Chains A and B, each alone.
Chain A
Amino acid sequence: MAENDVKLLGSWPSTFVMRPRIALNVKSVCYDFLEEQLSSKSDLLLKSNPVYKKIPVLIHDGKSICESLNIVQYIDEKWTNSGPSILPLDPYDRAIARFWACYIDDKWFPIFRCLAVAQGEDAIKAALEPVFNGLVLLEDAFKNCSKGKKFFGGDKIGYVDIALGCFLGWMRVTEKMNNVTLLDEAKTPGLYKWAEDFCADSSVKDVMPETNKLAEAAKDLIPKIRANASS
């Protein structure tokens, strides 16, 4: 059974690292969490992700799997009989789930990152609009995917919940630091309620960083993200 031949290289404030952590919890898989120091990448990280040199990396039976959504799909397929299915069972629903996860990573995340590091009222205002428009699209996606239930995945959290939910900690920090509202109870009621339900879920609770702790870490991390973006 599950001996800790499962290791996850990551770091606690990272949104992308949270995704495989939640997935492993959904499947009740025990793992060793190896905290990477962002200031200097470990030899293990460089060896197990030579292409991108980035976290998260899942190391299972000595073999490494990279890219967060790829890792989540691997976890879903490897531990298929342990815990609920993360991706839907129907091929069309799976395609829709993959579509929204792709949208979140390719379109929404880059504009959210812009907002998270924006400085000054004008920059924040300009960065906010596309982020909010994206959330309006995702509100619609939520209605279609959830079909009246609590999560994108239905009764239980699924692929899109994990893909989007991992950003909630940083969304709350951004709201606080930039004095904006991202999830508005009136404008995106579905996502507003979903966010509460997601954070309260047993697979998520222990890995979602506490907002104040994340806000403290953000003070150091945001200047680094800004520096990387301009280099």
Chain B
Amino acid sequence: MANDEVILLDFWASMFGMRLRIALAEKEIKYEYKEEEGLITNKSSLLLEMNPIHKKVPVLIHNGKPICESIIGVEYIEEVWKDKAPLLPSDPYERAQARFWADYIDKKLYVSSRKIWGTKGEEQEAGKKDFIEVLKVLEGELGEKPYFGGDNFGFVDIALIGFYSWFYAYETYGNFSTEAECPKFVAWAKRCMQRDSVAKSLPDQHKVFEFIQMLRQKFGIE
């Protein structure tokens, strides 16, 4: 693996990009981080070349070959660098469970979270209600375990934790307290934040809030 060239094309606030940053850090893989600075207004030619179908970050580029979609990227990292820090369990049923919950997070959490900061009035209220419901379902799945995978930090934790960096923004715009609604979720998130791989991959919550403020102004929501 000494001659591997790994590039991560990403955007600092992307909770999807954070998944790959964490997975790469867990496996201690050296990589070049490339910030897609013009993500909102002016996508780079590299991004358009590497992800022509969706034109989105993150894109993992391994020896010149692009892997798009963050969950697919995490599975790829797991399969290529399989001798280090396993992120998925080895049992097929446990793996199916992990994939199910990562997919659930993608289907349900992002959509509702977007409504909290991206809309107003009734639509925002509905988004907030759905969001809290989704967190409660996830809390139920977590149960008394330290991590979603059990004793070990893994796939579902990686799929979810990046959203935590957006929580100050969600709570401010949605006017709710996650600690009050979902204390187990907050405990889990703080546990994850103690890991180096996570702490180094997530941006400061206030910085994210400022970014969303800017987006809301840009999209005429403020």
Contact = CB atoms under 8 A, between A and B. Distances in A.
Given A70-B103, A91-B80, A99 B96 contact: no
A102 interface: yes
Given A66-B100, A95-B72, A137-B53, A74 B93 contact: yes
Contacts of A98: 69, 72, 75
Interface in B49-103: 53, 62, 65, 67-69, 72-73, 75-76, 79-80, 92-93, 95-96, 99-100, 103
Contacts of B65: 92
B167 interface: no
A77 B97 CA distance: 13
A65 B96 contact: yes
Contact of B96 (A73, A91, A102): A73
Given A66-B100, A74-B92, A102 B53 contact: no
Contacts of B62: 92
B168 interface: no
B188 to A, nearest CB: 19
A94 B76 contact: yes
A63 B92 CA distance: 12
Contacts of A77: 92, 95-96
B12 interface: no
Contacts of A94: 75-76, 79
Greatest chain A CB density within 10 A among B53, B65, B67, B96 is at B96
A99 B76 CA distance: 11
Contacts of A74: 92-93, 95-96
Contacts, number: 54
Contacts of A51: 104, 137
B24 to A, nearest CB: 15
B69 A67 contact: no
Contacts of A102: 69, 72
Contact of B72 (A70, A73, A99): A99
B67 A95 contact: yes
Contact of B99 (A73, A92, A99): A73
Nearest to A98: B72
A78 interface: yes
The bracket for how many chain A residues form the interface is: 20 to 34
Given A92-B67, A98-B72, A78 B100 contact: no
Contacts of B96: 65, 70-71, 73-74, 77
B53 A92 contact: no
A143 to B, nearest CB: 15
Nearest to B63: A92
Contacts of B93: 60, 63, 65, 74, 78
B92 A78 contact: yes
A103 B53 contact: yes
A226 to B, nearest CB: 22
Contact of A91 (B53, B79, B103, B104): B79
A65 B93 CA distance: 8
B68 to A, nearest CB: 6
A94 B80 CA distance: 11
A95 B70 CA distance: 11
A137 B52 CA distance: 11
B76 to A, nearest CB: 5
Contacts of A137: 53
8 contacts: A51-B104, A60-B93, A65-B100, A73-B95, A78-B92, A91-B79, A92-B65, A98-B69
Interface of B: 53, 62, 65, 67-69, 72-73, 75-76, 79-80, 92-93, 95-96, 99-100, 103-104, 137
The 3 closest A-B pairs by CB, nearest first: A77-B92, A91-B79, A74-B96
